[in-house]
């Protein structure tokens, strides 16, 4: 109940403020707040792509500049409406972001930073040297924005628009982060292998975020041009882009509130220094830069989470937050796939070989899996079991041989496509997002079973589906016996328990085949028994399980068949008692006492 009051009261209060503040404050402070609002918009986008998404951009001011110049030029030289300027600005910035991102983001994290530095340097140069854009003197006489009957020709009136846009932009970003797509945004730093394991394309997502961030920058540039009614190239320099990064870091990269905090702090302090420093020195500009550089270092050193971190903790304490998100009661469950009929061959591995340079990690291994059986893949350390998992899931390409899943060769498929066909896995080295809750981690597994995208998420039109996803995640958590820890941070759990969370995440994808890499490591006896009975249940439901495990008693009592590997080769295969009796296995692996 309290939660509901907050969700309604907060926006209402903010709206009220937006209309009251310009009546109270003097024009100097209004202008300052306008600058802060415009910067905050840019920083919201930057937090999404860089702070949370992990791809650092030094080109945001260039996007702001493109938008500002576009609308300036269209509304002066072409005498078109500022709204046309906004539209064309969006097309130009989003288009160029898509191009830059599309080319460089595939190459990895740092390439975006490098290419956006070049971009941030080049764009203002173009402005300064284009005659039609006023060269060094810029464009003036930009008309105000017309909003229905209102002409926003005063900083007080444009204040209202700026802050409505900031509020709307923050609301969208906040909803987005709490949505199905938002969960994958928050998981991006877990790497593309993790992302692909639940059917999400890390590259595409980062690219989308980069384009989205450029859209936020466009709104900022458009508002800037029609607030100041004049543009020149200087405020869009690389320096300004670095300032935006500064604002993000000072506020705290990973939380949206820091957009406001960082930009307020930066612009406020900058203003203060510009007033104060001339009283002491005639090198004000240099000292100003020095102060900011020192402040930046101090914050990075003392408060790696930014100033926002302690504040958000305080906020969390003040604000009564229900543990579970408020969601409607779902009217149905997520759709389930139809399982292949029991006994049908679903996976066929022929002569699978993987070489790492001179090392043959997997050497001509063949075996089959049939629907509804549990097969153990065993062998000493370094035998090639995890590598085999990576080959089967498409994480690594085969050097030789073929893998067919559901009668289709997987060689042309990406890891993500294989996952989408119903192959789920856990990792020997657990890949959970430690700062997300246990429930959210499991909900990631159900990602591919939902459909709501960026827009529906950002506009909060995804609540019914979200409720279904959460209900499914909770159901899977209950199966592994962790429903009472659903709202704890995944990173706070013991390692063995984290493995169970990974199993729940894999199950949430409704898999045909589930591959578990040493799931019982770190589990206590009772937990192992519970895990064995869970796998037994899965088998009875028709799910196929391939399991790598070192605990022989656990494996022998559970599996239908075993495949034994040693030094990359398959040395034995059969029912547990056959394998146990195989002298080659005894020699290579189990030892004579096994
Ligand atoms: P297991 O899981 O059976 O303990 P792995 O599949 O992890 O064994 O490793 C098999 C062999 O392949 C080991 O010798 C390991 O060092 C090597 N190996 C695994 N992954 C790589 C890699 N990415 N690059 C080079 N060598 C690797
Ligand atoms: Mg291994």
Q: Looking at the structure, do residues 227 and 368 belong to the same domain, yes or no?
A: no
**Ligand with an atom nearest the CA of residue 356:** 1
340 CA distance to ligand 1 middle (Å): 32
| pLDDT tens, residue order, the chain (594 aa) | 566 677 778 888 999 999 999 999 999 999 999 999 999 999 999 999 999 999 999 999 999 999 999 999 999 999 999 999 999 999 999 999 999 999 998 887 688 999 999 999 999 999 999 999 999 999 999 999 999 899 999 999 999 999 999 999 999 999 999 999 999 999 999 999 999 999 999 999 999 999 999 999 999 999 999 999 999 999 999 999 999 999 999 888 888 888 899 999 999 999 998 888 888 888 878 888 888 888 888 888 888 778 878 887 887 777 655 566 778 888 888 889 989 999 999 999 999 999 999 999 999 999 999 999 999 999 998 999 999 999 999 999 999 999 999 999 999 899 999 999 999 999 999 999 999 999 999 999 999 999 999 999 999 999 999 999 999 999 999 999 999 999 999 999 999 999 999 999 999 999 999 999 999 988 899 889 989 999 999 999 889 999 999 888 899 999 999 999 999 999 999 999 998 888 888 887 655 443
Q: Looking at the structure, do residues 224 and 349 belong to the same domain, yes or no?
A: no
Domain membership of residue 34 as a residue range: 9-237
In whole angstroms, give the CA distance from residue 132 to residue 548: 67
434 CA distance to ligand 2 middle (Å): 22
326 CA distance to ligand 1 middle (Å): 45
pLDDT of 321: 57
Residue 203: other Cβ atoms inside 10 A: 15
Q: Which of 393, 386, 406, 344 is nearest to 514 (CA)?
A: 393
Q: Of 205, 237, 269, which residue constitutes the final position of a domain?
A: 237
Q: Which of 384, 423, 432, 433 is nearest to 403 (CA)?
A: 423
CATH number of the structural domain spanning residue 561: 3.40.50.300
Give a yes or no: residue 441 inside a domain. Answer: no
Q: Of 172, 207, 237, which residue constitutes the final position of a domain?
A: 237
Give a yes or no: residue 183 inside a domain. Answer: yes
Give a yes or no: residue 86 inside a domain. Answer: yes
In whole angstroms, give the CA distance from residue 473 to residue 442: 5
Nearest CA to ligand 1 atom 24: 356
Q: How many domains does the chain have?
A: 2
123 CA distance to ligand 1 middle (Å): 47
Q: Looking at the structure, do residues 102 and 227 belong to the same domain, yes or no?
A: yes
Q: To test the ligand 1 pocket, which listed residue (376, 381, 384) has its Cβ within 8 A of the most ligand atoms?
A: 384
Q: Looking at the structure, do residues 80 and 202 belong to the same domain, yes or no?
A: yes
Instruction: Go through the chain and tell me how many residues it has.
Output: 594
pLDDT of 322: 53
Give a yes or no: residue 575 inside a domain. Answer: yes
Give a yes or no: residue 476 inside a domain. Answer: no
Would you say 486 and 493 are in contact if contact means Cβ atoms under 8 Å apart? no
338 lines ligand 1 (CB under 6 A): no
Q: How does strand 423-425 pair with strand 400-405?
A: unpaired
Q: Of 237, 253, 270, which residue constitutes the final position of a domain?
A: 237
Q: To test the ligand 1 pocket, which listed residue (362, 382, 426, 517) has its Cβ within 8 A of the most ligand atoms?
A: 382
Nearest CA to ligand 1 atom 5: 384
Q: Looking at the structure, do residues 350 and 206 belong to the same domain, yes or no?
A: no
Nearest CA to ligand 1 atom 7: 386
Number of H helices, E strands in the chain: 23, 14
Q: Looking at the structure, do residues 357 and 498 belong to the same domain, yes or no?
A: yes
pLDDT of 52: 94
Counting Cβ atoms within 10 Å, is residue 375 exposed (0-12), middle (13-18) or buried (19+)?
buried
410 CA distance to ligand 2 middle (Å): 22
DSSP run (H or E) holding 408? strand 408-409
Give a yes or no: residue 380 inside a domain. Answer: yes
Q: What would the 3-class secondary structure string for 262-299 be?
A: HHHHHHHHHHHHHHHHHHHCCCHHHHHHHHHHHHHHHH
Give a yes or no: residue 370 inside a domain. Answer: yes
275 CA distance to ligand 1 middle (Å): 62
Atom number of ligand 1 nearest to Cα 568:
10
Nearest CA to ligand 1 atom 10: 384
pLDDT of 3: 63
Give a yes or no: residue 559 inside a domain. Answer: yes
In whole angstroms, give the CA distance from residue 364 to residue 84: 63
Q: Looking at the structure, do residues 228 and 366 belong to the same domain, yes or no?
A: no
Would you say 344 and 370 are in contact if contact means Cβ atoms under 8 Å apart? yes
């Amino acid at each position: 109940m309290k939660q509901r009051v907050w969700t309604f009261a907060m926006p209402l209060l903010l709206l009220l403020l937006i209309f009251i503040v310009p009546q109270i404050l003097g024009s100097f402070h209004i202008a300052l707040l306008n600058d802060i609002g415009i910067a905050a918009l840019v920083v919201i986008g930057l937090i999404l792509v860089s702070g949370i998404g992990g791809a650092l951009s030094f080109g945001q001011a260039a996007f702001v500049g493109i938008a500002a110049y576009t609308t300036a030029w269209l509304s002066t030289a072409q005498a078109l409406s500022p709204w046309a300027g906004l539209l064309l600005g969006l097309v130009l910035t989003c288009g160029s972001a898509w191009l830059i991102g599309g080319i460089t983001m595939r190459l990895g994290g740092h390439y975006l930073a490098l290419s956006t530095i070049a971009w941030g340097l080049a764009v203002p140069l173009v402005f300064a040297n284009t005659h039609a854009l006023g060269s060094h003197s810029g464009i003036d006489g930009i008309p105000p924005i017309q909003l229905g009957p209102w002409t926003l020709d005063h900083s007080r009136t444009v204040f209202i628009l700026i802050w409505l846009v900031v509020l709307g932009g923050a609301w969208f970003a906040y909803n987005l982060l709490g949505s199905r797509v938002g969960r994958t945004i928050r998981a991006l730093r877990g790497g593309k292998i993790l992302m692909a394991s639940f059917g999400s394309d890390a590259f595409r997502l980062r690219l989308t975020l980069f384009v989205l961030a450029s859209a936020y920058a466009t709104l900022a540039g458009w508002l800037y041009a029609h607030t100041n009614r004049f543009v020149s190239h200087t405020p869009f320099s690389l320096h300004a882009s670095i300032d935006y990064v500064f604002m993000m870091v000072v506020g705290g990269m990973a939380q949206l509130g820091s957009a406001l905090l960082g930009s307020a702090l930066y612009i406020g302090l900058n203003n203060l220094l510009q007033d104060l420093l001339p009283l002491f020195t005639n090198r004000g500009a240099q000292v100003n830069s020095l102060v900011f550089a020192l402040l930046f270092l101090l914050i990075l050193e003392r408060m790696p989470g930014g100033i926002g971190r302690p504040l958000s903790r305080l906020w969390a304490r003040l604000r009564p937050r229900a543990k579970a998100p408020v969601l409607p009661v779902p009217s149905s469950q997520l759709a389930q796939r139809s399982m292949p009929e029991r006994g049908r061959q679903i996976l066929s591995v022929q002569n699978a070989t993987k070489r790492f340079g001179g090392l043959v990690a997997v050497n001509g291994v063949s075996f089959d899996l049939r629907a509804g059986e549990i097969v153990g893949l065993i062998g000493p350390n370094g035998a090639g079991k995890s590598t085999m998992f990576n080959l089967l899931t498409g994480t690594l390409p085969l050097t030789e041989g073929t893998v067919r899943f559901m009668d289709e060769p997987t060689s042309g498929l990406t890891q993500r496509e294989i996952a989408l066909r119903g192959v789920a896995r856990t990792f020997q080295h657990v890949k959970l997002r430690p700062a997300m809750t246990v429930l959210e981690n499991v909900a990631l597994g159900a990602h591919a079973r939902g459909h709501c995208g960026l827009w529906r998420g950002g506009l909060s039109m995804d609540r019914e589906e979200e409720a279904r996803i959460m209900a499914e995640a909770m159901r899977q958590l209950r199966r592994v016996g962790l429903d009472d820890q659903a709202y704890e941070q995944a990173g706070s759990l013991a390692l063995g328990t984290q493995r169970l969370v990974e199993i729940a995440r894999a199950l949430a994808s409704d898999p045909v085949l589930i591959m578990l890499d040493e799931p019982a490591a770190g589990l206590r006896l009772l937990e192992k028994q519970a895990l064995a009975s869970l796998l037994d249940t899965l088998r009875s439901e028709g799910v196929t399980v391939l399991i790598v495990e070192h605990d022989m008693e656990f494996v022998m009592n559970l599996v239908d068949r075993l495949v034994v590997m040693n030094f990359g080769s398959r040395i034995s295969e059969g029912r547990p008692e056959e394998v146990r009796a195989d002298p080659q296995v005894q020699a290579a692996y189990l030892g004579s006492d096994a």
